[in-house]
Chain A
Amino acid sequence: MAEHIRVTIDGQTIEVEEGMTILEVARRVGIYIPTLCYVPRLEPYGGCRLCLVEVEGHRRLETSCTTPVVDGMVIKTNTPQVQETRREVLELIISDHPYECLICPKAAEGNRCPPFSVCLKDTAVTDRCLICPKNTRCELQQVVDYIGVRRERFVGELRPIKLERSNPFFEYEPSRCVLCTRCVRICEEVRGVGALDVAYRGFQRAIVTAYEVTMPDSNCEFCGQCVLICPTAALTKRSYKLLGWPDHSVRTVCPYCGCGCEIELELKGDRIVGVTPVEQSPVNEGCLCVKGHFGYDFIQSPERLTQPLLRRPTGSMGPIEWDQALDTVVENLERVVAEHGPDAVAVISSAKITNEENYLAQKFARACLGTNNIDQCAQLCHAPTLLALSSALGYGAMTNSLTDLQEAGCILVIGSNTTETHPIAALKIKAAVRHGARLIVVNPRRTKLERFAELVLHPRPGTDTALLAGMMRVIMEEDLYDGAFLSRWCLGLHDFVLSLQEFDVPRVSEITGVPVADIVAAARLYASGGEDERHHLPEAEFVHPHPTPRKPVSAIVYGTGITHHHGALNAVRALLDLALLTGNLGKRGAGVNPLAGQNNVQGACDMGALPHFLPGYQRLDDEEVRTRFRRLWGVELPARPGRTLPEIFEGIHQGSIKALYIIGANPMLSEPDLAFVEECLRALDFLVVQDITLTETARLAHVVLPGTSFAEKDGTFTNTERRVQRVRQAIAPVGDSKPDWWIITELGRRFTARRQDREPAESSSPFGTWDYSHPAVVMVEIASLTPVYEGIGYERLEGEGVQWPCTSYFHPGTPVLYREGLPHKVRLWPLEYAPLQVQTSDEYPFLLITGRELLHYHTDKMTCRSLGIMEIRPESLVEINPEDAEALGIGERELVRVISPQGEVEAVASLSDRSPRGTVFMTFHFEKSPVNRLIGHAFDALSQSPELKACAVRVEPVERFG
């Protein structure tokens, strides 16, 4: 605890903590001190010299942002001398800024010229605030207005205008820069990127990229944080210039990855002109990544579907009215149910649509169609987590929170390229490292997070389980486990220890290719919670000189590197074992934390859009639960467990599934073995696709229903840390498209009405009718049927959201699971390691790893509509080790063909040692290079998760004509 001291500021004596600066004290008591270079979240800089104050007994005025208070200090912030000195400094600053408006007598009266007004002083246009994009939003203007500057004393040369517009998202205009270096500091201190720095001395000082290359050629990640923090118009978003300034904004949730960042959608009328992060959001704390900041062109893209489409007997598609479309769907689904039984129909829902919509989708499948054949793409990445964690602990979700990571003493990141796939989660990890946490990164590929890691392990692809077993063997042998936790909560220690026998460290080292010493070091570091002897500092410049003392707890963070394998369930259980052994559960800063890939993976699963679970992971075979649903829904629930996503396709292939209703999914790009998927979809009797654009999958449909994007509807998303957050409608649906909840409701209503006609029910149950007027109503139903959501309603979600379990209206939510102890004793999972099913051969000598990259998201329907993102990264890259490339005669940016036993795709080669020798890496984002065409049919036997991270391929240069 910091010591308390007494200081007097402007006559007011208060008690504050030692270590605060004068400025912090002033802000706490509501005293305004003008600043330009100060930002609370950054290290003080002391560059602008505006925050001067008088300190009794000090010879000089002190900069309040850098001067710590000491006991008995007497501070005056607003004496005439202080104000006069600030004014002189400000006169200097604006003497190097297009300043005419700043000293205009009109401005003295608090007026700024309206648009198109003529300057009475006949000032050059380039010197006028009026044409500045930051006019009225400029911090320099605010400071000038506060201090008051009406004279030109230090007139002199201005820096020349030199517009830098090499990137599509923002511009840099150095003549408007006040060199506060906020951009430089936030890029380094918060983003951990360091794309910007100051170069040159004195008056020539300027903000530049390394070696002054253009932004796209630099290591810039285009998060736009620098633009957000710029006090003047030196850095401005181009969208404002092109589309105008917003007149209002709507707070909602980013539709990209599972981080669930809160954003303000900025609108000018009904046009989205920009996005800013929500500062107060505990999730993103005012940060966004390039997608979340700039990737919104898809919402109002001309490629949006604006009306329902029907396939005519001729095979072509044409628009129809909604009534007709909905009736066609209901009739056909009914027909298939009647002819082949309810299990001949399946619904594929989506991890991109809201909780309410997922709830309605599974209700539609179960209550209307009478089948449990409901699944969604979370099956491809989240199923092993779901099964492993929920069966062992009760909840298949992140045990802790994103913010919680900042409390960890040690963080183990395994199978996650966090900086690219979950950029904001990566910021939490970086912040933890900056303040003293220690990071272990395990990944076959080199990732950007390594820069912050103390230990970097590069196991061979698919050997994670063996590596973890080796670490646990060290923990057992060196008595590093938490004995008290083990005896209180764990069963099966004997079998577990027996299973470790075959994992002696040298053998693990042989399997994984990780040196013995690194395995031992990682085990010790993790087990000690970061208190093990330090090996080396990750990067002196990034680590804060005064780290915060930390508790000895370790967190595990993992991604699809773990789950996209045929042995996925085993790997997740191994991670859980590791946490159990060391007692890293139920504490802040600890836990087993899977990162969900899509915005609503967690929510879609929570809502029971799963073949084996009802909403809230309630069991299908639990009679009590079934009764409850029967009573509220008024129908008997189907008892037979449904088919998973891969099983649905298998079912279609075998002819047992005849009709498919796909909501917001594009299996024609996202599913492994695309040739097989296409064959299946074409074989269907009836295919309905509901989406926002005409996807590859929609092109095969009989009926296409135009849904809406997140910006056009209300609802909730649940992010990867179980936080239920409000999605708010910002614009009217594009064209004649309809919110997905409306569409499903209409289908359900029609279905129920027709059944009612056929077989009138005696009593109407509370939720038997489909008359939802708004998603809020759906949430009421969800709360009454889903225990973990019981306390959640829209009125509670106005602020920062609620983390489930939230079991009553007064329950505060649960940032950390199992703080009161585990629900029951957990059996340690004996470790099993099975080598990759896929083996490279002479014919297919490379192992293909697929994944995501920072700039793009999932299938290309969202980011590929973003002109800016497409300018930076217009095509799929095949990342290949330079040595391998040389052996194959492949050069940088050359077109190559990647061939697997399943198929082949073409893409552009990118030479990088991020991929180890013998492997190549591709993203699955692009329609032009559908990488899943290459992937085979291997699935995790236990969880049905596909092996997307290993495929044997060969790579050939493509001969170009001419």
Chain B
Amino acid sequence: MPVDYQALREQAITRVREKERETRIFVGLGTCGVAAGARAVMAALEDKLRQTGVSARLQAVGCNGMCYQEPLMDIAKPGRPRISYGRVTPQLAAQLVDDYIRGDDPRPDLALGVVDGEGYAGIPPLSEHPFFRGQVRLVMRNCGLIDPEDIDEYIARGGYASLHKALFEMSPQEVIAEVRKSGLRGRGGAGYPTGLKWEGCRGAHGSPKYLLINGEGGDPGAYMDRALMDSAPQAIIEGAVIAAYAIGCEQGYFFIRAEYPLAVERVRRALQQAEERGFIGDNILGSDFSFHLEIKRGPGAYVTGESTALQFVIEGRQGTPRWRPPHSIISGLWAKPTTLNNVKTLSNVPLIIERGGEWYARMGTERSRGTKVFALVGHVQRRGLVEFPLGITLRELVYNVGGGLREGRRLKAVQTGGPLGGFLSEAMLDMPVDFDSLKGAGSMMGSGGVVVLDDRTCIVKTAQHFLNFSVDESCGRCSACRIGSRRLSEILTRITQGRGRSGDLETMDALGDLMNRVALCGLGRAAATPVLSTLRHFRDEYEAHIYEKQCPAGVCEMTGSL
């Protein structure tokens, strides 16, 4: 017998309402918040509440994306809107308890905005904050708002309605059709159409089939995967169960980078709660469909986010990528048909089911539908995670959202796509950001990292910095990547020390091109991208290092030239 979803939701809403009867203080305890000192804020608040005897519920939430304002803290008094404050110190937190909770001054001077609804007491809505203006928050719809450790909050906001709909109103084929209609492409970076992948896996010969959820998310500077797991794990799980239903698989593995302990813990709790409520397990919500999901922690290597390497890790082998074909949807985990989806991809799925593929496809560009979460970092004023329809220009991201560069600095380059992505010059700022445009410009979408670099950055040194990530993370299985990335790095070291030679640029071009053509996996193929793209757009800076023994940005010490 199907479980009555409405009843479930009513219960959840009741329980959440219960919470809302008292004053609530929300502290952003995502990994980013913790790093910025949110735990100290939390402790200060606890002290303060105890000392003053103020009755208020302290609640940990995830990150809403405003990383540059961390630690973040919201206060919601009964019957009043929820007001957000940024860069909260323990002192400030205590002050706010005094001013707003004990007194009644919401301190408009300190507030960032009103989280839900209209302005209040002179505080504008948060959605009108330059950082949020124009954002379309689908994947991040709940980030920073709900308690990631309380499934009721997710259900109260409509969570798992899509699962119920998929299970009882749609056939697996219809689910796939809807996702195909949406035009959703894999958000892990490769951009493979998700519906097509599911369809291929569903039709592949062999059983059981497996679903793998990729929470490796190891791109330095692009941490939205972690933020999603920290802040809104339930949407990923819901998306996963829908995917499993569509594919026809009963066992999944949620692969999470072990260096994200908070994410592991949050997902673990979310899974436990989802199981308790019958969203995961045998006969989900009273249907015939069963799906089990197990957490696997990554062994601490970036390359294990690659699909075949990830499978080997789950099988208990060394996490190095293998050659293809066969593709995973034909023969993946334990040689069975396997689908690997990124956490961001799966977070989109419940919305697509709820509102329809056509609705989703209306956003974005012709070949890149929907929204994308970007990690806007580097030398911009406002840094953090933002979500926009694909097709937004880099200029909008850098200047409108990011608030431009710091006083007196000029933009030099924007690096996109994580450590395997490329550098774009200022001339390319008006390019729409989508899978294909970035690729065409010699970079890539990747996880969605956008690193803004100003004129004090040495492009050679920065390229080497990105390359060295791949040198360190290369598994070493194939000779192209193992030796090639190392040789590239050696040449860059020489150049930045003033020992560059004529011919170095040609060698790097050839080597980078070779790696791109013959390396075994995506990492090896793209490892040289930072170098190749800078050679393409910033060749003069290399030449200055080599021939004039000068670093235009004044960063490199050029000791070798003496």
Residues of A at under 8 Å CB distance from B?
44-49, 52, 60-61, 63, 66-68, 85, 88-89, 92-93, 95-96, 153-154, 156-157, 178-179, 197-198, 200-205, 540-541, 545-546
Q: Is the CB of B486 within 8 A of A89?
A: no
Q: Is the CB of A47 within 8 A of B475?
A: no
Q: Is the CB of B318 within 8 A of A201?
A: no
Majority DSSP secondary structure for residues of B touching A: helix
Q: Is the CB of B479 within 8 A of A49?
A: yes
Q: Is the CB of A541 within 8 A of B315?
A: yes
Name the 6 nearest CB pairs between A and B, nearest first.
A205-B476, A545-B335, A202-B474, A46-B323, A66-B323, A203-B486
Q: Is the CB of B471 within 8 A of A203?
A: yes
What would be 27 A-B contacts, judged by CB atoms less than 8 Å apart? Answer: A45-B477, A47-B477, A47-B479, A48-B479, A49-B478, A49-B479, A52-B518, A61-B518, A66-B323, A89-B518, A92-B479, A92-B480, A92-B484, A92-B511, A153-B507, A156-B490, A157-B490, A179-B482, A197-B318, A198-B318, A200-B476, A201-B472, A201-B476, A202-B474, A202-B486, A541-B317, A545-B335
Q: Mark B457-501, 1 if CB is under 8 A from A, else 0.
A: 000000000000001111111111111111100100000000000
> How far is A202 from B483 in the complex, measured between Cα atoms in Å?
8
> How far is A201 from B318 in the complex, measured between Cα atoms in Å?
11
> How far is A156 from B483 in the complex, measured between Cα atoms in Å?
9
State whether A202 and B476 are in contact (beta carbons under 8 Å apart), knowing that A67-B325, A154-B511, A541-B316 are contacts in the complex: yes
Q: Is the CB of B323 within 8 A of A95?
A: no
Known: A49-B520, A92-B483, A540-B334. 15 other contacts (CB 8 A): A45-B477, A49-B479, A52-B518, A92-B480, A92-B487, A93-B483, A96-B483, A153-B507, A156-B486, A201-B301, A201-B472, A201-B475, A201-B476, A203-B485, A540-B315
Q: Which residues of A contact B323 (CB under 8 A)?
A: 44, 46, 63, 66-67
Q: Mark B500-513, 1 if CB is under 8 A from A, else 0.
A: 00000001001100
> How far is A88 from B484 in the complex, measured between Cα atoms in Å?
10
> How far is A157 from B490 in the complex, measured between Cα atoms in Å?
8
Tell yes or no: B13 within 8 A of A by CB: no
> How far is A203 from B476 in the complex, measured between Cα atoms in Å?
6
Q: Using CB atoms, name the residue of chain A closest to B514.
A: A88
> How far is A894 from B331 in the complex, measured between Cα atoms in Å?
53
Residues of B at under 8 Å CB distance from A?
301, 315-318, 322-323, 325, 331, 334-335, 471-487, 490, 507, 510-511, 514, 517-520
Q: Is the CB of A89 within 8 A of B476?
A: no
Choice from B322, B474, B477, B479 contacting A93 with Cβ under 8 Å: B479
Choice from A48, A67, A204 contacting B476 with Cβ under 8 Å: A204
> How far is A93 from B331 in the complex, measured between Cα atoms in Å?
31
Q: Which residues of A contact B471 (CB under 8 A)?
A: 202-203
State whether A154 and B507 are in contact (beta carbons under 8 Å apart), knowing that A93-B479, A95-B483, A203-B483 are contacts in the complex: yes
- Shortest C-beta distance, A540 to chain B (Å), equals 6
Q: Which residues of B contact A541 (CB under 8 A)?
A: 315-317
State whether A85 and B315 are in contact (beta carbons under 8 Å apart), knowing that A48-B479, A178-B479, A201-B472 are contacts in the complex: no
> How far is A579 from B38 in the complex, measured between Cα atoms in Å?
73
Q: Using CB atoms, name the residue of chain B closest to A178.
A: B479
- Shortest C-beta distance, B382 to chain A (Å), equals 36
State whether A545 and B331 are in contact (beta carbons under 8 Å apart), knowing that A47-B478, A49-B480, A95-B483 are contacts in the complex: yes
Q: Is the CB of A95 within 8 A of B518?
A: no
Task: Pick the most buried of B315, B318, B481, B487: most chain A CB atoms within 10 A of its CB.
Answer: B487
Q: Is the CB of A546 within 8 A of B335?
A: yes
Q: Using CB atoms, name the residue of chain B closest to A200.
A: B476
> How far is A201 from B485 in the complex, measured between Cα atoms in Å?
12
Q: Is the CB of A154 within 8 A of B487?
A: yes
Q: Which residues of B contact A153 (CB under 8 A)?
A: 507, 510
> How far is A204 from B473 in the complex, measured between Cα atoms in Å?
11
Q: Which residues of A contact B519 (CB under 8 A)?
A: 49
Choice from B334, B480, B487, B517 contacting A545 with Cβ under 8 Å: B334
Q: Is the CB of A61 within 8 A of B322?
A: no
Choice from A46, A88, A93 contacting B520 with Cβ under 8 Å: A46
> How far is A580 from B472 in the complex, measured between Cα atoms in Å?
61
Q: Which residues of A contact B490 (CB under 8 A)?
A: 156-157
Q: Is the CB of A68 within 8 A of B325?
A: yes
Q: Using CB atoms, name the residue of chain B closest to A70.
A: B325
Q: Using CB atoms, name the residue of chain A closest to B518.
A: A49
- Shortest C-beta distance, A45 to chain B (Å), equals 8
Q: Is the CB of A95 within 8 A of B487?
A: yes
Q: Which residues of B contact A61 (CB under 8 A)?
A: 517-518
Q: Which residues of A contact B478 (CB under 8 A)?
A: 46-49
Q: Which residues of A contact B472 (CB under 8 A)?
A: 201-202
Choice from A46, A48, A68, A178 contacting B322 with Cβ under 8 Å: A46
Q: Is the CB of A85 within 8 A of B517?
A: yes
Q: Is the CB of A201 within 8 A of B473?
A: yes
- Shortest C-beta distance, B528 to chain A (Å), equals 12
Q: Using CB atoms, name the residue of chain A closest to B301.
A: A201
- Shortest C-beta distance, B372 to chain A (Å), equals 26
Q: Is the CB of B484 within 8 A of A202?
A: no
Q: Which residues of B contact A204 (CB under 8 A)?
A: 476
Q: Which residues of A contact B477 (CB under 8 A)?
A: 45-47, 205
> How far is A563 from B361 in the complex, measured between Cα atoms in Å?
76
> How far is A814 from B196 in the complex, measured between Cα atoms in Å?
55
> How far is A440 from B318 in the complex, measured between Cα atoms in Å?
29
Q: Which residues of A contact B507 (CB under 8 A)?
A: 153-154
> How far is A47 from B511 in the complex, measured between Cα atoms in Å?
17
Q: Is the CB of B335 within 8 A of A202?
A: no
Q: Is the CB of B476 within 8 A of A179?
A: yes
- Shortest C-beta distance, B9 to chain A (Å), equals 42
> How far is A47 from B322 in the complex, measured between Cα atoms in Å?
9
Choice from B325, B474, B479 contacting A89 with Cβ under 8 Å: B479
- Shortest C-beta distance, B507 to chain A (Å), equals 6
State whether A202 and B510 are in contact (beta carbons under 8 Å apart), knowing that A44-B323, A46-B323, A545-B331 are contacts in the complex: no
Q: Using CB atoms, name the residue of chain A closest to B511.
A: A154
- Shortest C-beta distance, A767 to chain B (Å), equals 62
Q: Using CB atoms, name the residue of chain A closest to B481.
A: A202
Q: Using CB atoms, name the residue of chain A closest to B303.
A: A201
- Shortest C-beta distance, A154 to chain B (Å), equals 5
Q: Which residues of A contact B483 (CB under 8 A)?
A: 92-93, 95-96, 154, 156, 203
> How far is A293 from B478 in the complex, measured between Cα atoms in Å?
32
Q: Which residues of B contact A60 (CB under 8 A)?
A: 517-518
State whether A85 and B475 are in contact (beta carbons under 8 Å apart), knowing that A197-B318, A541-B315 are contacts in the complex: no
- Shortest C-beta distance, A88 to chain B (Å), equals 5
> How far is A198 from B483 in the complex, measured between Cα atoms in Å?
16
Q: Which residues of A contact B331 (CB under 8 A)?
A: 545
Q: Using CB atoms, name the residue of chain B closest to A197.
A: B318
Q: Which residues of B contact A545 (CB under 8 A)?
A: 331, 334-335
> How far is A60 from B518 in the complex, measured between Cα atoms in Å?
8
- Shortest C-beta distance, A231 to chain B (Å), equals 13
Q: Which residues of A contact B518 (CB under 8 A)?
A: 49, 52, 60-61, 85, 89
Q: Using CB atoms, name the residue of chain A closest to B474.
A: A202
Q: Using CB atoms, name the residue of chain A closest to B490.
A: A156
Q: Using CB atoms, name the residue of chain A closest to B336.
A: A545
> How far is A85 from B490 in the complex, measured between Cα atoms in Å?
22
- Shortest C-beta distance, B324 to chain A (Å), equals 8
> How far is A198 from B317 in the complex, measured between Cα atoms in Å?
11
> How far is A154 from B482 in the complex, measured between Cα atoms in Å?
13
Q: Using CB atoms, name the residue of chain B closest to A94.
A: B483
> How far is A156 from B480 in the complex, measured between Cα atoms in Å?
14
Q: Using CB atoms, name the residue of chain B closest to A52.
A: B518
Q: Which residues of B contact A540 (CB under 8 A)?
A: 315-316, 334
- Shortest C-beta distance, A713 to chain B (Å), equals 49
Q: Using CB atoms, name the residue of chain B closest to A93.
A: B479
Q: Which residues of B contact A202 (CB under 8 A)?
A: 471-476, 481-482, 485-486
Q: Using CB atoms, name the residue of chain B closest to A91.
A: B514
Q: Which residues of A contact B315 (CB under 8 A)?
A: 540-541
Q: Using CB atoms, name the residue of chain A closest to B322.
A: A46
Task: Pick the most buried of B471, B479, B487, B511: most chain A CB atoms within 10 A of its CB.
Answer: B479
Q: Which residues of A contact B482 (CB under 8 A)?
A: 179, 202-203, 205
Q: Which residues of B contact A66 (CB under 8 A)?
A: 323
